[in-house]
Chain A
Amino acid sequence: MSEHGDSRPQWVTDALLIGGALLATYAVFTVFGLVLGLDVNGIVSTLQRVTFFAAVYALLALALNLHWGYTGLFNIGVAGFMAVGVYAMGLLSSAEQGFGLPLWIGVVGGMIAAALVGLLAALPALRLRADYFAIVTLGLSEIIRRALLSSSLREFEIGGQSLGTGGGSGIGFPATEGVVDYVLYAGAERGGDPALLGSLLFPLAETVGIQPSVVRSSVYTALLVVFVIAFYLVLSRIGASPFGRVLKGIREDEVAARSLGKHTNTAKIKVFMLGCALMGLAGMLWQGSRGTVTPSQFMPIVTFYVFVALIVGGSGSNAGSIVGGLVFAAALWEGPPFVRRIIRANMDVSTPTTIYDALLPLADLDVLPLVGYLVGSLDEIRFMIVGIVLVVLMLWRPDGLLGHRKEIAAATDLSRPSRRAGREGVEEGGDP
Chain B
Amino acid sequence: MAALEVADLDAGYGELQVLEGVDMTVEDGEYVSIVGPNGAGKSTVMKSVFGLTTVMGGRITFDGEGITGRRPEEIITTGIGYVPQNDNVFPSLSVRENLEMGAYILEDVPEDRIQRVYGRFPILEERAGQKAGSLSGGQRQMLAMGRALMLDPELLMLDEPSAGLAPDLVSEMFDRIDRINADGTAVLLVEQNAKEALARCDRGYVLVQGQNRYEDSGDALLSDEQVRREFLGG
Question: Do A and B come into direct contact in the complex, CB within 8 Å?
Answer: no
Binding site for A on B (CB under 8 A): none
